Amino acid sequence: MQGEECPAAPGRSCHSKTRGGYIDRSGMVGAIEIKRCETCGHGVSFPAIPDVAFLYEGRQSQDFQPDARNWLSKWIKDIAFRFQAKRLLKDIGSFEGRLLDFGCGSGQFTRVLDETADNLDVTGCDFFAEPPAELRYQSYIGHDELALAKDLYDGALAMHVLEHDDDTRALLDRITSPVKPGGLVVVEVPNVDCVWGDIFGRYWDAWYVPYHRHHFSQISLRAVLKAQGLKVEAIRGVTAPTMGRTLANLFGCKNSVFWIMVGITLHPLQLAGEVLTRRRTALRAVCRKIA
Ligand SMILES: [Zn+2]
């Protein structure tokens, strides 16, 4: 919320202070800094990147699960995604119909969700005109085509998408405009206040810069969703396995089956720490699009 009214201090702009230098995980940007507001907690990555498309060319970022190209890690992730899909279905209750998975990345979660839910027809969506390998036999729509789709879907998911663009409002427009009035909008982002962020510092997996442009707190997430005209029904904390990748970062390694196994082993500890401190990995907002 750099230069804007602070959602935690109406009438004043965010009071942002630098948190220092972070690791450039793309190798394409150089020195990266994160500034956080001392009042609402919202963080912003610098320098600004008005068009982030170059970061995702070739689908090499971890958003496309490059580590899941090995059959064993793909199999493990399928199981983890099935758990996450079931929990998500619980959160959205009796929802049924056509669901858009905006920013579907590798498409693995999209496919698993579609297979897990009988009453949903899930369509993946991303930058590219061609679907990822996972969605070869599933529904998929590219961003250019999606721009023409208005009020077409009963709901949209944006799982770990909103933090990927400098212009949050324009991105939220793209996510919500294909949804019918009254439709469901689910937005999940990393929680800037997650307990492991303090413990692991810049190695914590969610400080995934330059890819992550915004770092939301519960207050700042609620504020941007409300400013978009969405009715926020609930925001809850979610634990997602991040320990393996965080430790891989700490030891300067690429994520691999070994680190996935380390993450699984430590998952009970990760979960316990987050439940006890009530500072979870991610924030999941369930919203309705007002007509
Ligand atoms: Zn603020």
Task: Kindly report the CATH number assigned to the domain that includes residue 42.
Answer: 3.40.50.150
Distance 291 CA to ligand 1 centre (A): 29
CA–centroid distance, 44 to ligand 1, in Å, is: 11
Q: How far is the CA of 90 from the centre of ligand 1 (A)?
A: 32
Virtual torsion, Cα 244, 56, 147, 185, nearest 10 deg: 10
Pick the more confident residue, 245 or 4. 245
- Confidence category of residue 69, pLDDT binned at 50, 70, 90: low
Kindly state the average pLDDT of the residues 113-129: 92
Please report which confidence band the pLDDT of residue 224 belongs to, taking 50, 70 and 90 as the band edges.
Answer: very high
Give whole-number Cα distances, 118 to 37, 81, 112, 113, 124, in Å.
Answer: 43, 16, 11, 9, 16
Q: Give the pLDDT band (50/70/90) at residue 72.
A: confident
**SS3 for 40-108, per residue?**
CCCEEEECCCCCCHHHHHHHCCHHHCHHHHCHHHHHHHHHHHHHHHHHHHHHCCCCCEEEEEECCCCCH
Q: Is the pLDDT of residue 62 over 70?
A: no
CA distances from 159 to 101, 149, 201 (A): 8, 20, 23
The predicted model gives 128-157 an average pLDDT of 90
Give distance in angstroms: CA of 220 to centre of ligand 1: 7
State the distance from the centre of ligand 1 to the C-alpha of 240, rounded, in angstroms: 26
What per-residue confidence (pLDDT) applies to 68?
A: 58
- The Å distance, Cα 42 to ligand 1 centre, comes to 6
Picking from 156, 161, 167, the residue whose alpha carbon sits closest to that of residue 188 is 161
Contact 55, 239 (CB under 8 A): no
**Dist. CA 33 → ligand 1 center (Å):** 17
Host domain of residue 100: 5-289
pLDDT tens for 146-180 read 888 888 999 999 999 999 999 999 999 999 999 99
Q: From ligand 1's centre to the CA of 159, what distance in Å? A: 23
Number of H helices, E strands in the chain: 8, 13
Ion ligand 1 nearby residues (CB, 5 A): 6, 14, 37, 39-40
52 CA distance to ligand 1 middle (Å): 24
- Over residues 246-286, the pLDDT tens digits come to 999 999 888 888 888 899 899 999 999 999 999 999 999 99
Burial (Cβ within 10 Å: 0-12, 13-18, ≥19) of residue 9: middle
Residue listed under structure tokens 């303090």 = 198
Contact 188, 287 (CB under 8 A): no
Count of domains forming the chain? 1
Any alpha helices (H) in the chain, and if so which ranges?
A: 71-91, 108-116, 143-146, 168-176, 195-200, 218-227, 243-250, 257-277
Measured in angstroms, how far is the CA atom of residue 278 from the centroid of ligand 1? Answer: 21
Structure tokens that stand for 115 in this block: 């297979």
Residue 2 · residue 16 · CB < 8 Å: yes
How far away, in angstroms, is 9 Cα from ligand 1 center?
7
If you measure from the C-alpha of residue 214 to the centroid of ligand 1, how many angstroms do you get, rounded to a whole number? Answer: 12
For residue 60, is pLDDT > 70? Answer: no
The alpha carbon of 30 and the centre of ligand 1 are apart by a number of angstroms equal to 26
- Rounded percentage of the chain residues whose pLDDT exceeds 70: 95
